[in-house]
Amino acid sequence: MEALKGIKVLELGQLIAGPFAGKTLADFGADVIKVEPPGSGDPLRRWRLLRNGTSLWWEVQSRNKRSVELDLRSTEGQDTVRALAAEADVLIENFRPGTLERWGLGWERLHELNPRLIMLRISGFGQTGPYSHMPGFGALGEAMGGLRHLTGEPGRVPVRVGVSLGDSLAALHGVIGTLTALYHRDAHGGVGQVVDVALYESVFNLMESLVPEYDAFGVVRERAGSALPGIAPTNAYRCADGGYALVAGNGDSIFKRLMAVIGRHDLETDPGLQHNDGRVARAEELDAAIGAWTLAKPLDEVLGILEQANVPAGRVYSVEDIFRDPQYLSREMIVEAPTSNGSILKMPGVVPKLSATPGS
C-alpha cells in the first residue's frame, strides 16, 4: 500500500515549484493529473539537456504523473478543469495571483464545486500583500528571503547555489501544508482550504536566528564564504590533490580530537578554545591550522585519519562522486525509472524513506 494511494491531485503548475510539489505527492502514490498547454506543453520539457528532444529535468519532475492537454484560456478547457477539480482532493497551481480568477478557476468557484478540495497556491509573494500581483521566481525568493545576502565570499557579489533552491523549498513547504490540510479535513471533519505558499517566505523560514539577532543586537549577518557564522571550526579545506574536505569540528569534544589528530596540542588545550564562543573569535586562526594540515595530504588520507579520530568530515561531492558512492547506492538514492518515451533513465530516489510505505 502506498501512503497517498487514493488521493487525487490536479496539477496546473508549470516549470519548477508546482510540478516539484506534484512529483513529491506522486512519489508516495497520489494519482496526479498534470495539465499542460496544447502543442508545446510545459516549458520545462525544453529546459537544459535534452535527450530525444525532451529535457532530462522534465523526466524527473513529471515522473509518476499522467498528462492532459488543456487550454485554460478557453471555455472548454476551463469547464474540463472544473470537472476534474470537482473530483480531486488537491489542486496545485503556481500562476501569478489573480490568473485563475480571471479564468473562472479561482478558489471561491472551485470550493463551491468541491468543498473538500485543498488548493495549493505557490507564488512569488503570496496571495495577499502589496507585492502579491508582481511576478516572482525562485531567484527573487532567494534574494528577498535573505539567502542571497548570506551566500558568497565577504565583500564580493552575492551568489546563488547551483540549483533552483527557492522553487524547491516552496514546493516542499507546499507539500507540508497540503498534507496538514488533508489531515485536518479527514481526521477532524474539516473542509478544504487554501495552502498559500510564497517563494520568499519559504526561503525566509530557513534563516535560523537572523530576525532575533537583528532585533536584539542590530546585527546584520554577512557573507562568510564556506564557513558558517557563529560556529567554528567548520569549513571546506583544500587537500594536496586538489580535493576539498568538509570538516565539522565545532563540538567541544570533537574540537579537541581534531586538534589532537592534526598535531596542534597547543590549540587542543588552550583555555580560550574550549567552547564555541571562544573558537568563533579565533575562527581564522583555526581555519589556517586545519588548512595547513589538509594541504599536506591527499583527500582520501585526510578523510581516513579524521574517520579514525571520530571527527565528522566528508568530501565535497560532484555528481560523479554521487553515482559511485556506496551510501547512495545502498539506500536506493540512484534508481532506474521509465521515461515518457519508455526508455530507462537513472533518477534521484524517493525522499524521505518510510518504513512501511516507502514510495517509488
Active-site residue list: 167
> Chain-centre distance of CA 249, in angstroms?
26
Longest dimension (CA), the chain: 77
> Chain-centre distance of CA 92, in angstroms?
18
Backbone angles phi, psi at 43, to 5 degrees: -55, -25
Give the closest residue to 141 by CA, choosing from 207, 195, 93: 207
Looking up cell 564555541, which residue turns up? Answer: 276
Helix, strand, or coil (residue 349): coil
CA distance 5 to 11: 16
Cell of 131: 507585492
**Pair 178, 23: CB distance under 8 Å:** no
Helix boundaries (H) for 265-336 = 265-268, 276-281, 283-294, 299-308, 319-324, 326-330
**Pair 225, 154: CB distance under 8 Å:** yes
Beta bridge partners of 54: 51
Signed CA dihedral, 326, 327, 330, 333: sign only: negative
